[in-house]
Amino acid sequence: MASKAFLIAVIVATVVAQTLATDHMVGDNDGWKLDVDYTAWPKGKIFYVGDTLTFMYKEGVHNVQKVNGSDFKQCMSTDSSSKPLTSGNDVINLATPGKKWYICGVGEHCSKGMKLSITVSVQGPTPAPMPTPWLTAPPPSSSSASEISPLKSLVLMVAVIAAYKIMIMA
């Protein structure tokens, strides 16, 4: 019985951790291209370890290079071992906390604003307390980064129901 409860706890924890991770599409609907303000884009967003950044752009027109702070300021990569991402749909896992810098290494694109600086936090978002039925609902969040998609919510509910049924059958 205890081993089934442990297995259920592991499954639920895994599903919950996956639903809390957020994929941030850089530039939102604009994607990764010239004439987008990537200094303003991260404002109001919180990036956590486990989240991902997705850089969407026309393949062959742009790229994504991870650089250090000094290279970011100079719009160039001095790390010859760091190869640019070029797929047009580049997903970067935010695996460690701290400051992260990305540039487009094509031509003068970086100096024209195609560069992104973010800070990744260790602590993930804490779930909001359940509202009491007699209170009015809080206003909707202004940041889509903190929302959980309906599909992820469904997966979480199915996992919880499955865990509950397993516990009852035991």
**Helix or strand holding residue 92 (H, E):** strand 89-93
Residues contacting residue 34 through CB under 8 Å, at least 6 positions apart: 109, 112, 113, 114
Q: Which of 24, 52, 9, 46 is nearest to 124 (CA)?
A: 46
Look at residue 74 in the predicted model and tell me its pLDDT.
97
Look at residue 126 in the predicted model and tell me its pLDDT.
55
- Digit-coded pLDDT (tens) for 31-65: 999 999 999 999 999 999 999 999 999 999 999 99
Q: Is the pLDDT assigned to residue 12 strictly greater than 80?
A: no
Residue 42 and residue 139: Cα distance in Å, rounded? 22
Read off the tokens for 100.
Answer: 């992260």
- Digit-coded pLDDT (tens) for 59-113: 999 999 999 999 999 999 999 888 999 999 999 999 999 999 999 999 999 999 9
State the average pLDDT over residues 133-155.
Answer: 55
pTM over 0.85? The answer is no
